[in-house]
Structure 1
């Protein structure tokens, strides 16, 4: 019922509630706008290609679902950072902690210029962001086949070094997992590869400019489309046995290879490594050191009164069943089965499976379906049990409302809501829709 206490035990993934104001500004002003523009356009390209035939429509489903989910998350986080309430709250809290540090000479010496160091690192990140994103993070080479090529090129180089001197992803502890992924028999769709790779070449030229050395090297005599087509048509890396031979052959095999995708990875690797080195030395390292000092200040100021960011460790959240207000109108905390059919349009994304349409006449439309609570959860909590004050299972958390996306940065009690599925609809679905009565019986008997 509304107002009933609820508790969620689970493993929330990651949050960014302890970032400095300058780190938040970097995400708001630089990182998120670029991501949203680039991937919104890529989404449109995928949808358009999917309309050209049944096979393209099938092929795009997984990448389209992935990109749409990511866009939803990034839009929600960007909206949160554009909220004056959030930024005012973060600024006030940061200023309060800085004043506490200043009031304690010993703490001042210990914490030092932590906030300024992080601010300087963010400015450096702004300067290198384009090249780091498009070269090292490979946003300019959006292709599974290029990813294979870079991994093969770097693995050959890194495995020749002592373990402690390698890039971390090529350490001995990671090599088996890397090889399993790299050498797996995975379907490659050439036309999809051409679409994503040509698009990423185009965006790289747009973001870095035509005078960037890598852009000139790649696109001075080729269009993004023609270069992508040539690379995908001529590379042999879609064949797992070819990748295995290059992996086993090491540096000699990579140096001797004339596969165009291997050549591309070889010729761009120095520039990518260079900007990675700048990032690790001038951004990542000072930020990590600064955050460590700020954490000491926070502990000195608040002791155990605050909790760390989520890291997939076990956490307990308390809350209550409660709706919220959307654009001046109340949103009730419970939905019923009737709303499922009211929302159905017969077309994606509101197309119900036939099994639910067939079961409609035998179902009780007043059955509770989903409900919302004030529990503070984030990605990683999906599947977590909701427990009431008497220790009874009263639902399974699986999502949040759109406002919960701001939970990466703060908990907004007015709007942030966890979404849980009600046990009644679980039993109804098992018994009356899916004919899985034995499972329902097992659930009932375990109460």
Structure 2
């Protein structure tokens, strides 16, 4: 039996209840009895509310935290990397040199970062289920999307600039909650270290431990042109994390699949993970080749390469887990336990019994259209920022003229501020790089759909992918945000009259893209959603809410402790220190320390803890989450998981899974002694007084 399988066997031996460190809990359903029994601590209502509002979500896929009453925000460097790159130029490369705003006036707005502070959770399950009751297929899909759009619009009201509202599906549709956020779109870069230190060890060290990274970045939220005033923020702990200490991670895990059916897991493994890994491997080689062309190409492509390599490693870990036959057998036993419970009672069987088979049929339907869906609607065949802009303009022009409840979900009133933030972004677009990406993706479109496919012929005609990419990019003006804004404000008439080649392309492919999207929503998504609700109801009957919901990129609390682990008989200690970074360094990328650290070595406390691990249950999206103690003080900043955590999408094993964080003491040590950022260190430390 494999090591993974043994771990899972132990994990599900208690089937109905979570293990001590397991669980990504919503703020309104913390396992207080369990926490008290394990750690001697019970989070009360005020503690929970304060922590909830001091933590943040970066809408692009990360987490963060307020660390001062003046809107100062701490997160990871890799979460602000895109902003750092967008603000850089060939002559001023903040990726290599780092960035420090010495004064408030030097803080620069990030073109595309949005921060969300969770203010309120409301229960809307009854309203959503009433709207979808008795419906199936297209009728179910339309009703569900309409009621969600209506709820969100009512929640936002007339304050879309500062308010964001999302209806969130929990327990795969067993519960629907409305999350109301305070939205910050004026977000400015304050500090970022050099990439050499923020990602020290590079891809070889990624998802591993020991680590020696200062993966941190500092932003500031602004409102009305001034630093935002916030009531709830996290002070730094005086000493930081210590061995055995209870730790709480509060962040926004992107998604887990711990409650999926066997049919869904098989589809994930065979139809999603394997093809995606093939494409990522090719894309990595393509990006490496472009990046090796010059120093400027290196700068342009580094953010993409980090994302590709990170995704490849993470998804490979998930695939390896799902390819272990013993693991799958254990998952089958887990599903059988719930199905046996349903089948044991005639009434439950009549109500829920067919749900698993219906989901299996829907996944069969998905296999018939997945290539068209991914390459046409999802956009894999048109990998270019220019096409993204064009599609947003074409669809925005069509959708904004419809009643809110009838629009595509991404163009409802509550979502439009995020659409326009990306569309009007001042971030530069690099034509030569876009040509490489677009030509490759058009090649993949032809490869996966076939050279004789009618849609492929419509797109390529007699041109090669390279020739078409060159013609489109040489002829477009969508790299200019003023042009994009004029087209958006001009509405349907302006977009219809535009002869920009990317607008023409987006208009021509939109009917086919909408058609395959409709098939996906009606034949796959709506069936899975409806029957997942039934399985969730059965799970509630058996377990209640003692089981946490799968992650949904919404705020979750995870409780654990600072603790190493045993790796094949060798004890892995929970801490690394600054001195270890100098020992680990080789002088060559990615193990080269930046000049700033080499110059500061004699002044640094080499025994200061740098990185540490804890048993907290996390997943992608938790990057930038605060690690706090029972006093709601920052003891660390999450930036990674260890290699064992890659299977955390499907289960959690407290013996092996670890969150990896930057120690709070290292953050202050670096700010003062390496970067001489006393203004920031003073502001952070003043918050604890």
Partner residue in 1 for 2:248: 8
CA drift at 1:134 = 0.2
Partner residue in 2 for 1:43: 284
Partner residue in 2 for 1:60: 301
Kept after mapping to 2: 8 A contact 1:384/1:398: no
User: Which one has a larger percent strand, Structure 1 or Structure 2?
Assistant: 2
Runs of 4+ in 1 over 6 A off after TM superposition: none
Seen in structure 2, the aligned counterparts of structure 1 residues 320 and 139 have a Cα distance that, compared at 3 Å, is same
What SS does the aligned partner of 1:119 have? helix
Counterparts of 1:276-295 in structure 2, within 5 Å, are 276-295=517-536
Partner residue in 1 for 2:515: 274
Partner residue in 2 for 1:235: 476
Aligned counterparts of 1:207 and 1:219: Cα–Cα separation in 2: 14
TM-score (norm 2): 0.61
CA drift at 1:437 = 5.5
Aligned counterparts of 1:201 and 1:435: Cα–Cα separation in 2: 48
Select 1:386's aligned residue among 608, 628, 647.
628
Aligned counterparts of 1:310 and 1:400: Cα–Cα separation in 2: 16
CA drift at 1:71 = 2.1
Partner residue in 1 for 2:425: 184
Kept after mapping to 2: 8 A contact 1:2/1:322: no
Kept after mapping to 2: 8 A contact 1:6/1:387: yes
Select 1:156's aligned residue among 397, 414, 424.
397
What SS does the aligned partner of 2:247 have? strand
Kept after mapping to 2: 8 A contact 1:7/1:316: no
Partner residue in 1 for 2:596: 355
CA drift at 1:391 = 7.6
Kept after mapping to 1: 8 A contact 2:252/2:553: yes
Partner residue in 1 for 2:490: 249
Select 1:202's aligned residue among 443, 448, 451.
443
TM-score (norm 1): 0.92
CA drift at 1:200 = 0.2
RMSD (Å) for aligned C-alpha atoms: 2.5
Aligned counterparts of 1:264 and 1:103: Cα–Cα separation in 2: 56
Aligned counterparts of 2:675 and 2:451: Cα–Cα separation in 1: 57
Partner residue in 1 for 2:173: none
Counterparts of 1:20-419 in structure 2, within 5 Å, are 20-326=261-567, 329-381=570-622, 382-387=624-629, 394-419=635-660
Q: Is the deviation greater in 224-233 or in 334-343?
A: 334-343
Aligned counterparts of 1:141 and 1:125: Cα–Cα separation in 2: 21
Seen in structure 2, the aligned counterparts of structure 1 residues 42 and 398 have a Cα distance that, compared at 3 Å, is closer
- 1:290-320 CA distances to partner (integer Å, 9 max, x unpaired)? 1111111111111233111223555443333
Aligned counterparts of 2:517 and 2:488: Cα–Cα separation in 1: 24
What SS does the aligned partner of 2:611 have? strand
Seen in structure 2, the aligned counterparts of structure 1 residues 248 and 418 have a Cα distance that, compared at 3 Å, is closer
The number of residue pairs the alignment matches comes to 446
Seen in structure 2, the aligned counterparts of structure 1 residues 75 and 221 have a Cα distance that, compared at 3 Å, is same
What SS does the aligned partner of 1:60 have? helix
Unpaired stretches in structure 2, ≥5 consecutive residues:
1-240
CA drift at 1:49 = 1.4
Aligned counterparts of 2:602 and 2:354: Cα–Cα separation in 1: 68
Aligned counterparts of 1:361 and 1:185: Cα–Cα separation in 2: 41
Aligned counterparts of 1:80 and 1:393: Cα–Cα separation in 2: 33
